[in-house]
Structure 1
Amino acid sequence: MIIFFREGYSILSKPEDLPVHFIFNQEKLSGEKVMVLRSFLGALALSLFFAGCQSGTEKNPVEELFGSQQPDSVYTPSYAKGFSIAYFDDLKLVHIADPWDSTAVGDYVLVGDEQTADRYKNSEIPFVEYPVKSWGAFSSTQVVFAEKIGELKSLKCVAEPHYISNTFVQQQLQKGHIRDVGLASAADVEVLLASAPQFVFVSPFKDNRYGTLKEAGLLLINDCGYLETTPLGRAEWIVFFGAFFDQEEKAAGLFSEIASSYNSIRKEVENSSSTPSVLTGTLFNDVWYIPSGDSYMAAYFKDAGTKYAYGDKPGTGSLALDFETVFNDFRKSDYWLITVNHDGRFTKEDFLQMDDRYGDFEAFQGNQVVFSNTAYSMFFERGIVEPDVVLKDLVACFHPEIYPDYELVYFEFLNE
């Protein structure tokens, strides 16, 4: 759980530009509705935040700070499930759900200007002041989020920069203004400390690989967006990200445009008379990892108007199968979607060199293999933040009659 604050903070000024769930302007409501709204928000936020943070019978720091105070407004994501934001006067309270233990006590961060922070200096909750002067990113997606809301200049360190395509970041790395801390799972503590970030966004692991960094006194902010199971759910984490930089208005506006575009494309697919079948993935060390029915990719397949044979398989992760099982269930699929990381042009011959049995699938024989060469496409970097573009790519491939003149961005057909 994270807390932000700022003296005289006003959340947003253009309600018509935001989803309905972003409730913030009570002046537009009648007195009776305001009372009902405040009562509802108070019950909702306090039950989510205080009860979720309670450890045994001990009073937790959040309750110590807020007491029985009710929030003025709450941002409850429309698609993301891993975070929410409550606003208390000049304070912002952001809840980050533990992805593996719903009963676990979260982390808390108090964010604000120095003068206001002095009022809460005795709180047990650590804080970060904004405007942010220095921060770190362990994921290329976080860099894309920062680029979109205009917050790259304060970035001081990154992990695995070879996955980052942003020109400004690469230039700053060469100049030494941004430091390379190495692998996200085994970052160089000395380089991190020398970078002096106010906080570092990390993607949490179930086995908690960041103990050494915490022991060194670094403030780590868990970015759980990659665990969301829908494309819009992952993209909505830009609002969470923006909150650290006091940029909710811009982030929420950007996401509103993304969601509107995505849903518009999805509606166009609903009018299509065809429902092509689709296969995805390839063998890795003799195991074929294929998405379960409640997974991120399965959501894409559904929204793209396809028939996915494992769409009814429960689970949000992947199924580990052998070649024979996949071949029996997907041999006649109309399309085959894959991602590869290949140096140079990826061809049919390259594909068959991976496993010559791939040539026995009808999608391969009919030139209906759709691939993204992630060595160049930036699918894993920008695709998370542009789910509407990814969906339009898929629809253009699976339903060519809908977008006959569309130029693909992340994917292409394996025709060579």
Structure 2
Amino acid sequence: MIQRLSSFLHVRSFLLVLFVVIVGWGCQSADPPQDSQQSATVDSVRFSHQVHAKYADGFQISYHQNYKLLEILKPFQDQVDTLRYSLVPREIADQIQVKNTEEIAIPVRSLIATSTTHLGLTEMLNINGIITGMVGAEYVYNRQIRNRFKEGKITRFTSGEFNKEQAMAMQPDLLMISGGESSQFDNYRVLMESGIDVMVNSEWLETTPLGKAEWVKVMAALVNKEKLANQKFGAVAKEYNRLKAATDTVGQKPLVINNMPYKGAWFVSGGDSFTARYLKDAGADYPWYSSSETGGLRKDFEAVYEKGLQADVWLNPGATTSKEEVLAKDARFKDFKSYQTGRIYNNNRRLNESGGNDFWESGVVHPEILLADLIKILHPELVPDHELYYYQQLD
């Protein structure tokens, strides 16, 4: 009897251990694997996947034994000095010091974003959960992020008034800012001194659609999602280049003007700008291709009006949603060819009630959809099955 009881207890113990092991395996498989090792020591760091810039001019990433080196090559609008960040696994961050760099412990677990374009990067990598603070929350389109506002999981920061005390109380892993004037960077010194890592994201200075979208790789390096970034961006680039190649053989290129005048001046896109590249790739003719400006060109109303009389298509006419609103701006627009033919399109189809426009969020990382929209407007025969996503035709 005693021998049978002993055997029974032995079998029961074995089954209990087996159950714990199986449950342990199940728990481990529930979480998506990171690209880098979960537990790191100085001698064991291995980055299994890497990202590198192919289209972007503003950053470079290299991989070393114990860290990733992120270099922001054109961080500010008025300065070209490179900013260098060492991305060090969190477990060994206190043991690694890379000279002439600002250290950021990775993976980043909490982030204050200062631009809605940053949300396009987190959305593509399925990491919206790391957003704990948002500047300009009223202009967010992403539904998941807006729900997290309502649930109190994301702190709102008022646009134009960044509350440093509030940020320091939150103690996020990273504050991501958009590089404007270099002098603005000094405003964040107090946060850096309090232990908050501050990184400049200058994707907005890129002059090509794929270059801007490729900044998803920077976000990927911060959260160890390089494999996913390569997969998703690779698919975007492949489709963009396929669409671009389809317009290379078009014969007639419709003449396009863009934007809306304001107080007598009309700012149009420069010939080397991000928008002009879109127009070239979509097979458009554009009056200011010869300009070397990468930003906007200030033109007199009359100069653009003259082109508008002949232009086949008018894109992005301010905040308007109808032809009547266009005419309310200036009655002379009724003489535009595009007004008479109805070929006026705006990039505000995905606009919510508070003014959030998905064009400035997911559009940043999905230039292939934007390009398909423009081709649909200019050369609909090339994309017969595509329906406008970011753009809409004014009624």
Quick check: TM above 0.5?
Answer: yes
Query: In 2 relative to 1, CA 372–117 (structure 1 residues): closer, same or farther, beyond 3 Å?
Result: closer
Structure 1 residues not aligned, in runs of 5+: 13-23, 25-74
Is 2:393 aligned against 1:413?
A: yes
User: What per-residue deviation string (whole Å, max 9, x for no partner) do you get for residues 237-266 of structure 1?
Assistant: 000111100111111221111000101111
Alignment of 1:163-174 (within 5 A): 163-174=139-150
Larger gyration radius, structure 1 or structure 2 = 2
Alignment of 1:94-243 (within 5 A): 94-98=70-74, 99-100=76-77, 104=81, 106-114=83-91, 116-120=92-96, 125-183=101-159, 185-217=160-192, 218-243=196-221
Q: Quick one: which amino acid aligns to residue 199 of structure 2?
A: I
Give 1:315 deviation, angstroms. Answer: 1.4
SS in 2 for 1:336: strand
The partner residue of 1:300 within 278, 297, 300 is 278
Is 2:328 aligned against 1:335?
A: no
Query: Aligned-residue CA RMSD in angstroms?
Result: 2.3
The partner residue of 1:93 within 69, 72, 77 is 69
Distance 2:201 2:106 in 1: 19
Distance 1:204 1:122 in 2: 23
**2:330 corresponding residue in structure 1:** 355
**1:32 corresponding residue in structure 2:** none
Give 1:167 deviation, angstroms. Answer: 2.4
SS in 2 for 1:108: strand
**2:16 corresponding residue in structure 1:** none
Give 1:154 deviation, angstroms. Answer: 2.2
Q: Quick one: which amino acid aligns to residue 229 of structure 2?
A: A
Give 1:405 deviation, angstroms. Answer: 3.7
User: What per-residue deviation string (whole Å, max 9, x for no partner) do you get for residues 30-75 of structure 1?
Assistant: xxxxxxxxxxxxxxxxxxxxxxxxxxxxxxxxxxxxxxxxxxxxx5
Distance 1:10 1:303 in 2: 36
Give 1:111 deviation, angstroms. Answer: 2.5
Query: In 2 relative to 1, CA 325–176 (structure 1 residues): closer, same or farther, beyond 3 Å?
Result: same
SS in 2 for 1:263: helix
Distance 2:209 2:229 in 1: 16
SS in 2 for 1:254: helix
**1:268 corresponding residue in structure 2:** 246
Kindly tell me the number of residue pairs found equivalent between the two proteins.
346
Distance 1:109 1:275 in 2: 47
Contact 1:149–1:247, Cα closer than 8 Å, also in 2 = yes
Contact 2:133–2:157, Cα closer than 8 Å, also in 1 = yes
Distance 1:391 1:194 in 2: 42
The partner residue of 1:78 within 42, 54, 57 is 54
**2:46 corresponding residue in structure 1:** 9
Give 1:156 deviation, angstroms. Answer: 1.1
Q: TM-score normalised to the size of structure 2? A: 0.82
Q: TM-score normalised to the size of structure 1? A: 0.78
Structure 2 residues not aligned, in runs of 5+: 1-35
User: What per-residue deviation string (whole Å, max 9, x for no partner) do you get for residues 316-374 of structure 1?
Assistant: 011101110112234201111115435xxx22111111222222211111111112226
Q: Quick one: which amino acid aligns to residue 175 of structure 2?
A: V
Distance 1:179 1:228 in 2: 29
Q: Quick one: which amino acid aligns to residue 118 of structure 1?
A: D
Give 1:159 deviation, angstroms. Answer: 0.5
Distance 1:315 1:154 in 2: 37
Contact 1:179–1:191, Cα closer than 8 Å, also in 2 = no
Q: Quick one: which amino acid aligns to residue 221 of structure 1?
A: M
More relative contact order, 1 or 2 (CA 8 Å, 6+ apart) = 2
Q: Quick one: which amino acid aligns to residue 168 of structure 1?
A: Q
**2:341 corresponding residue in structure 1:** 366
Q: Quick one: which amino acid aligns to residue 303 of structure 1?
A: D
Distance 2:298 2:126 in 1: 41
398-407 or 387-396: bigger deviation: 398-407
Distance 2:126 2:260 in 1: 38
Q: Quick one: which amino acid aligns to residue 139 of structure 2?
A: Y
Distance 2:305 2:322 in 1: 21
Give 1:127 deviation, angstroms. Answer: 2.6
Query: In 2 relative to 1, CA 103–187 (structure 1 residues): closer, same or farther, beyond 3 Å?
Result: closer
188-197 or 307-316: bigger deviation: 188-197
